[in-house]
Amino acid sequence: MFLLGLTGSIGMGKTTTAQMFAAEGCSVWDADAAVHRLYAKGGKAVAPMGSAFPSAIEDGAVSRDRLKQIIGNDPTALKRIEAIVHPLVAEDRADFLSNTDADIVVLDIPLLFETGGDAKMDATACVRVDSKLQRERVMARGTMSETQFETILAKQMPIEEKCARADYVIETDTLEHARQQVQDVLLDIRGKIADA
């Protein structure tokens, strides 16, 4: 099983690119989706988060909005939240990997390089687009303000650095161009698997 870590910055087209890998026969695990499962009613993060941050629980689930408020009011909260969530995310990923028989598994991890997750991958791919198109995409979603967008960008490693560290860079300027590059990446990886 070949593990390909997929990353990029907000608004760069990572989710769409992950779907393209899935359409080409890869199994895809999404770190953000795992967190949503863990935070949902009945999710594994609800009880430990409720113990650490009782005000974060709303209707039996972890409220991301309440977590944002908690983090905003307490600079030490983020580290404690991560200490609860990261092991559960790792467990979710391990369960996923033990239940797939795909030759190539794509692990969609936004903070792949920031968390050192790239060390566990056989290769890494970074999606990118120019900053103007990135900003347009994020603002078009209508889910955040310019200030929130800038705050998220500030927490992420600069895209140039991510691309420099990645084995593959996928330009997501158009769907067709991105799809062609996904196919090229898989052709290259399958060639390496065949030679191994």
Give the domain ranges of the chain.
2-190
Quick one: pLDDT at residue 164?
96
Quick one: pLDDT at residue 153?
83
Quick one: pLDDT at residue 150?
87
Query: Domain 2-190 falls in which CATH fold?
Result: Rossmann fold (3.40.50)
d(CA 195, CA 114): 31
Number of H helices, E strands in the chain: 9, 7
Check: CB of residue 109 under 8 Å from CB of residue 117: yes
Return the structure tokens found at 11. Answer: 């608004």
Check: CB of residue 39 under 8 Å from CB of residue 46: yes
Return the structure tokens found at 110. Answer: 């936004």
Quick one: pLDDT at residue 145?
86
Quick one: pLDDT at residue 6?
97
Q: Which of 30, 6, 14 is nearest to 138 (CA)?
A: 14
In single-letter form, the type of residue at position 4 comes to L
All residue ranges of the chain with pLDDT < 70 are: none
Quick one: pLDDT at residue 68?
87
Quick one: pLDDT at residue 196?
78
Quick one: pLDDT at residue 75?
82
